[in-house]
Amino acid sequence: MDKILSDEIIKCYDDAKNEVIEKLNGLLKSFGVLYPDYGFYIRGRIKELKRIEDKLKRKYKDKDSFDTQFVFENVTDIAGVRVIFAPIATSYNMNLFDITLRSLPIEAFEGLMKEAAREKKNNNIDIIYDFINQLASNGFKIIPSKTKDYISKPKESGYMSYHVTVIASNGFPVEIQMRNFLQHVYAEAEHKRYEGDPKDERVNSILEQCVSYLNSSSDVYDAHCL
C-alpha cells in the first residue's frame, strides 16, 4: 500500500493537536480553581501510519486502497490528546508514572488497582463531566456524532473514558480522551491484553478483578449511569 498520508497532511494533524493542547492548558488553569486538590496531565500523539492502515483494513475489508480524502472523513483519531485528572501529588509525577506503568507485568496491576481504589479521589467522575461542559462553552468545536461516553456506558472489556472529537482552526479533527487516575491505570492494564494472547485466561481473570475495583470505588458512579 502506498503512503496514505503525506508529510504535509501529517503536519496539519500535528498543528491541530498542538493547538488543542494549548487551548486545553489554558482552560485547565482556570478550571483547576474549582478542583484545587487535583492536577491535570495532558499528553498528545499522532497515530502511526501503520496503525491507521491496520485500522482501515479491519473496518473496511471490502476496500483495496484508501485515498487521503477517505482517511480524513473516516478516521478522526489520527491526532489525539489525553487528559488525565488525578490527585495533585500524583499528577505531578504522571509522566514518570506512565513510563513505569507500561513496564509492569500484568500481575502487578491487580494490587495497584486495589490500592488506588481505596482513595476515592482517584476515581472522581464528576470532575470529568464538569470539564466536558466547559469545552463547548469555551470555543471548542465539538462533533456531536463522534462523542463517546464510555464512563456511563463502559465498553464490554470494562474500559472507561470520555471521548470527544473537536475541529481545530485548520479544519483538522483531534480526538480528546478524558479519564481519571483509576480509569487510566485500568486502560493501561487492558492494553497488556493486546501485547500478549487476548484469550489468556490468567490475564482476563486479573482484568476482571481490576474492573471490580474500578466499578466499586466511586460513590458517584451509579448516578451517572441512570
Segment 116-149, tens digit of pLDDT: 888 888 989 999 999 999 998 898 999 999 999 9
Tally of CA atoms within 13 A in the half-sphere of 18 that contains its CB: 6
Q: SS3 for 104?
A: coil
Query: Helix, strand, coil: what percent of the chain each, to 5?
Result: 55, 15, 30
Instruction: Give the pLDDT confidence score for residue 35 in this predicted structure.
Output: 93
CA 106, CA 126: separation in Å to the nearest integer?
Answer: 29
pLDDT per residue rounded down to tens, the chain (226 residues): 467 789 999 999 999 999 999 999 999 999 999 999 999 999 999 999 888 888 888 888 888 788 889 999 889 999 999 999 999 888 878 888 888 888 888 888 888 888 888 888 898 999 999 999 999 889 899 999 999 999 999 998 889 999 999 999 999 999 999 999 999 999 988 887 777 766 778 888 888 888 888 877 654 444 443 3
Instruction: Give the pLDDT confidence score for residue 190 in this predicted structure.
Output: 86
Instruction: Give the pLDDT confidence score for residue 103 in this predicted structure.
Output: 85
User: How many C-beta neighbours within 10 Å does residue 170 have?
Assistant: 11
Q: What is the pTM of this model?
A: 0.88
Instruction: Give the pLDDT confidence score for residue 163 in this predicted structure.
Output: 97
The end-to-end CA distance of the chain, in Å, is 46
Q: Note the residue count of the chain.
A: 226
Instruction: Give the pLDDT confidence score for residue 217 in this predicted structure.
Output: 63
CATH number for the region 7-225 comes to 3.30.460.10
Name the one residue in this structure whose C-alpha cell is 471521548: 163
Domain ranges in the chain are 7-225
CA 57, CA 63: separation in Å to the nearest integer?
Answer: 8
User: How many C-beta neighbours within 10 Å does residue 128 have?
Assistant: 21
